[in-house]
Structure 1
Amino acid sequence: MSTDPQEIEIKDVKMDEQPNTTNQDQIISTSTTSIENESKQNQQINSRKIKTKERQDRQKYEQSEYVAILDENGKPIPKSERKPKKKVAVMIGYCGTGYNGLQIQNDPNVKTIEKDLYEAFYKAGAISLENSIDLKKSGFQRCARTDKGVHAAGNVISLKMIIEDSDILKKINNNLPETIRVWGIQRTTKGYDCRKMCSSRWYEYLLPTYSLISPKPGSRLFNLIEIERKKYPHLFINDLEENSKFWESTTKEYFNQGITQQDLDLVEKYYSTEEIPNDEQHIENKTIETIIKKIKSVENQQRRSYRISTHKLNRFREVMSNYKGTNNFHNFTIGKSFKDTSSKRYIIDTITSQPFVINGTEWISIKLHGQSFMLHQIRKMICMASLIIRCDLPSLLIKDSFKQTKINIPKAPSLGLLLENPVFDAYNFKLKDNLYDIIDFNKYSEQMLEFKMKYIYDKIYNEEIEQNSFYGFFGFIDSYKVPENDEIDIKNNMITIFDFFHNYINEYKDKSVESSSNDVIEEKIEERK
């Protein structure tokens, strides 16, 4: 019996239109498995390609023709003898004064800690001449980078070194200035990277307690605070009249030193108009510059004789404690946005010491323990905490700085900052069953303390007396011209150094006057939750 071809085609189409769900599920499952396997294979292939490329580059470098280094006269220097090198951790300490930071620069004329270290390594025979001018050749890595003028009692760098000589440590230190010391050189595992394997870091910041005194009466910041305090007194913390008593005492000392009320009025008018009226240019043959110099001398003496109260010190400790935990520190560095995941940092602890007096000035030591820190982060943290105390604001205001709103936080002076030491808990835990020693700065604690006292602490104390760094910094902030609350250009997102203050007033001013400032913020936080 014959069959019409057209009928066969129609039957085939109808069969295709009836899907088999079981077969489709099997096809999808097989396809998914195939894609996953293919993805794993691609990852393995890419990994092998990368390793092959690295091996080829290394072989190419080893087989490449040696290009001799030339001496001062243009003559080639013979290639250094190849000696066995070992991966090590070098524990160092240094005073950052006079140096442009730790990291070596492209410009050989820029003075850095690493530049002096590598020159000492070469002179001591710990690295070859070729490796001394190219850090990559020795697998160099630094644990924590410090900025210009910042000190370190303990830091770590890792690299491959020639350590056959039992006196290598002594020889390196003999070729270093006394302000840079190598505490120890320690064998590590081949894959050791001091930056990646560092669990956390301890920093210390030394702050004169007079930095926490309120702004000088009549200054721009003082006037800004008083305007808002009169309108919203419930938003400010009672300082138990500590600030007013200090400035009353200072005013009495003005008069004791022969400064009259007329002198003070002239100086206030000068700062408000930034010009000297011709008819008041001289008062009893004293120029405006002489009066200002005398006033600053009295204020400087008063600040140095200031002793912080237990109430204010505990308030500062409370402010610093609000940094602890994982928070978004995008406002405490530069070039980071709120959405940038690297802006989140984990602060383990903050410890503020009892006050101590050095050369007549009272100081406190603030230690910060964190997983890692960003550029300028600690200096901005100290400044923000100081401003909250100086403006009589609640400690929980720190939490507002972690929000998306962009604010401008000044950097506290670099003078008081030093790296205490990095911590390698995770790496040391892995080594407990190995032959390698753990990386621990405790064995060098006595040497480090002696070094800190002589080359770091004394320099900080003496430089503060000579240059009045903190007095100048906070004095500049107090007199900085900022817009009044009603002048702020919100539409154009204008950022000033007192946005945190304006934002706080605007957000919490409508709360009940009967509520305390901390209660106000806590209620707001609960509402947001």
Structure 2
Amino acid sequence: MISRLKLFNINLNTFQRNFSKGSNSILFNKNSDIFSNRSSRKQFKNRDESDFKKRKYLSCLSNLNLTPEEIEKNRLYKINSIGQQQTDTQLYREHINQFYLSHQDKFSDSSDPKNLHCHGKKSKLALYFAYIGTGYSGLEYLPSLKFQGLENVLEKAMFIAGHILPTNLGDLNRIKWERSSRTDKGVHSLCTVISAHVLLDDYKFSKDNNAIQFVSEINKHLPENLRLLSAYKIPRSFSARRNCNERTYHYLIPQKYLHVKDFDRMDEILSKFVGWNSFHNFTSHRKTYKDVRVPNNNSSTTNQNSVELEKENEIEDEEQVDEDEEVENEEVEVEETNSNNDNLKKRREIKVDRNLEKLSFRTNVKNIRNISSFSVNRKPMIIDGEEWIRFEVTGESFITYQIRKMMGYFLAVYKGYQSLEGLEIALKSPFSVRAPVAPPHTLHLYDTSFVDTKDGTQAYQIVGDINHLEQLKSTFCRDKLYPHLNEVDKQTNDNFDSFFNKYLPEHYYGLDDLKQIWPLYKEFLVEQDSRRSFRKLYFKNKK
């Protein structure tokens, strides 16, 4: 019987012979699928129709203000998207495998000391990226050939540069890939931070001042609108998502569309967004109404019991803690647009049951966000000879379309299409309101800050030379971003001219019954205060 030691030596000799031949057959097998030899855990999460039935928060007709035709269309879309997603995932895996096979010859020589796939060691880095989001389906990695995220491009560039192994290609979770912020479709960034375990030559990286050579090697494989600015070594415990406590976005608007520059009036409106609020009217998925409708005429008792049960569970619902700073989309988002003339009449004909909305409203913690500041910069910017106004918003985190809808509603109030009372209803009340969506092409992530999650107060300094990084951001902003903003506004149909002259005046806000809503809103505030007092007393007595 062969001893374990001899068996180990035989396997070790075989391993060394394969590498001495330069074939590197273990990592690079031309006849194999890179996904076939991985661990048994799922590479991509497949969903079935039952997942849609398990959602806690159901959207009823009065909540969404949708026509029956639109509700049926959305239902069929979700059912069809299940099978389509599985097909897209399989096609994308085949695409990744072909991409790997077309580049494997570059890393097949194991005797080359520059071959990081054979000689590199994994280290955790913080990667600072700047990009122009036009033409991409957002930042997030998408396993689909129809929709391309910026992270798909980053993955391929880092693989070609030798910093990602073939065994990790196609699944960024395998290298603990995390982002500080996830931008929507068409949104840009100057300081997105990504933390990941990548292959490095430690000695070479330690001698690389400000990681200039490392950055240059990766940027050679990236498009001009996507740039790696810098990279820094970080502790293994650091998380770009969890340690990021503040994100600052800028939104630019040509001054000619605002006409009168009343900065005091602007700040007065913007201040209404500051603080903790439920932004269920400022996102694409509210998920904040429970279905309390009576199934049939003989089930009034059942409906009453369900309402009472929901009241009993209300304390638990409000005490839930949102562990996710960002709401992860369950599927590729369909671009949300403003109302048009075709469906405007249909929406106005729908009678919304405000009492039902008030009864079925439950606070969804994923919609609650804290805005620490929202203001207008009173010093105009000059881009290509045109004056632009910059709006700055800072918060812990944001949900899908939140900033664009906040800007849309702000502009509606500033231009006189809506009132401050309507804005208060949208922010503080349980009623559904349709906020207009501002164009995405001038929204960009400007800054991020990090804290040590152990105490939540100490600033986390991961940047070596802050001045060097700020200079790179300014250069990208001056040479790439600002010229692009002015150019894309003139070329696209969904620009400021269409928004201010067509969408904003014609948009249906769902507040034709504002006078009837206001007394119900005051009742809701009284009931809310009563519930909070009861909850405090309940937990005080429980202790």
In which range does the TM-score fall when normalised by the shorter chain?
0.5 to 0.7
- Are residue 169 (structure 1) and residue 215 (structure 2) matched? yes
- Deviations 1:382-402, CA, capped at 9 Å, x for gaps: 000000111165546432212
Question: Given the superposition, is the C-alpha separation of residues 73 and 473 from structure 1 closer, same or farther in structure 2, using an over 3 Å criterion?
Answer: closer
| Deviation at residue 368 of structure 1 after TM alignment | 0.6
Tell which deviates more after alignment, 191-200 or 465-474.
Answer: 465-474
Structure 2 partner of 1:464: 489
| Deviation at residue 356 of structure 1 after TM alignment | 3.5
**SS in structure 2 at match of 1:168:** helix
- Deviations 1:483-506, CA, capped at 9 Å, x for gaps: xxxxxxxxxxxxxx2224x34455
Match for 1:454 among 469, 472, 479? Answer: 479
| Deviation at residue 121 of structure 1 after TM alignment | 1.1
Structure 1 partner of 2:397: 372
Structure 2 partner of 1:90: 127
- Are residue 404 (structure 1) and residue 430 (structure 2) matched? yes
Structure 1 partner of 2:249: 203
Structure 1 partner of 2:230: 184
Structure 2 partner of 1:125: 162
CA distance in 2, matches of 1:422, 1:75: 37
**SS in structure 1 at match of 2:400:** coil
- Deviations 1:326-370, CA, capped at 9 Å, x for gaps: 111110002221521111100011131123343454321111100
Bigger Cα Rg: 1
Paired residue type of 1:384 = Y
- Are residue 146 (structure 1) and residue 96 (structure 2) matched? no
Asked if the contact 1:97/1:150 (under 8 Å) is kept, the reply is: yes
Match for 1:319 among 264, 269, 275? Answer: 269
CA distance in 2, matches of 1:199, 1:170: 30
Asked if the contact 2:187/2:443 (under 8 Å) is kept, the reply is: yes
Normalized per residue, the structure richer in helix is 1
- Are residue 391 (structure 1) and residue 416 (structure 2) matched? yes
Match for 2:442 among 389, 397, 416? Answer: 416
Question: Given the superposition, is the C-alpha separation of residues 360 and 81 from structure 1 closer, same or farther in structure 2, using an over 3 Å criterion?
Answer: closer
- Deviations 1:427-457, CA, capped at 9 Å, x for gaps: 59889899x8458866411110110122111
**SS in structure 2 at match of 1:99:** coil
Structure 2 partner of 1:229: none
CA distance in 1, matches of 2:467, 2:276: 28
Structure 2 partner of 1:302: none
- Are residue 499 (structure 1) and residue 490 (structure 2) matched? no
- Are residue 348 (structure 1) and residue 372 (structure 2) matched? yes
| Deviation at residue 140 of structure 1 after TM alignment | 1.1
CA distance in 2, matches of 1:89, 1:438: 9
Question: Given the superposition, is the C-alpha separation of residues 437 and 111 from structure 1 closer, same or farther in structure 2, using an over 3 Å criterion?
Answer: closer
CA distance in 1, matches of 2:39, 2:528: 59
CA distance in 2, matches of 1:186, 1:359: 35
**SS in structure 2 at match of 1:409:** coil
Gaps of 5+ in 2: 1-36, 41-95, 111-116, 206-212, 289-361, 530-543
Give the TM-score normalised by the residue count of structure 1. 0.57
- 1:429-440 pair list within 5 angstroms: 437=462
CA distance in 1, matches of 2:480, 2:145: 25
Question: Given the superposition, is the C-alpha separation of residues 82 and 131 from structure 1 closer, same or farther in structure 2, using an over 3 Å criterion?
Answer: farther
CA distance in 1, matches of 2:253, 2:241: 28
Paired residue type of 1:344 = I
Asked if the contact 2:417/2:505 (under 8 Å) is kept, the reply is: no
**SS in structure 1 at match of 2:137:** coil
Paired residue type of 1:199 = N
Give the TM-score normalised by the residue count of structure 2. 0.56
Structure 2 partner of 1:267: none
Asked if the contact 1:154/1:441 (under 8 Å) is kept, the reply is: no
Structure 1 partner of 2:141: 104
Question: Given the superposition, is the C-alpha separation of residues 413 and 358 from structure 1 closer, same or farther in structure 2, using an over 3 Å criterion?
Answer: same
**SS in structure 1 at match of 2:236:** coil
Paired residue type of 1:83 = G
Tell which deviates more after alignment, 344-353 or 379-388.
Answer: 344-353
Asked if the contact 1:319/1:396 (under 8 Å) is kept, the reply is: no
| Deviation at residue 115 of structure 1 after TM alignment | 1.7
Question: Given the superposition, is the C-alpha separation of residues 396 and 458 from structure 1 closer, same or farther in structure 2, using an over 3 Å criterion?
Answer: farther
- Deviations 1:288-309, CA, capped at 9 Å, x for gaps: xxxxxxxxxxxxxxxxxx5x33
**SS in structure 2 at match of 1:499:** coil
Paired residue type of 2:216 = K
Q: How many pairs are equivalent?
A: 342
Structure 1 partner of 2:316: none
Question: Given the superposition, is the C-alpha separation of residues 370 and 357 from structure 1 closer, same or farther in structure 2, using an over 3 Å criterion?
Answer: same
Question: Given the superposition, is the C-alpha separation of residues 324 and 440 from structure 1 closer, same or farther in structure 2, using an over 3 Å criterion?
Answer: farther
| Deviation at residue 69 of structure 1 after TM alignment | 6.0
Asked if the contact 1:169/1:182 (under 8 Å) is kept, the reply is: yes
- Are residue 425 (structure 1) and residue 451 (structure 2) matched? yes
Question: Given the superposition, is the C-alpha separation of residues 148 and 115 from structure 1 closer, same or farther in structure 2, using an over 3 Å criterion?
Answer: same
- Are residue 382 (structure 1) and residue 407 (structure 2) matched? yes
Paired residue type of 2:132 = C
CA distance in 2, matches of 1:333, 1:96: 20
Asked if the contact 1:92/1:181 (under 8 Å) is kept, the reply is: yes
Alignment RMSD, CA only?
Answer: 3.8
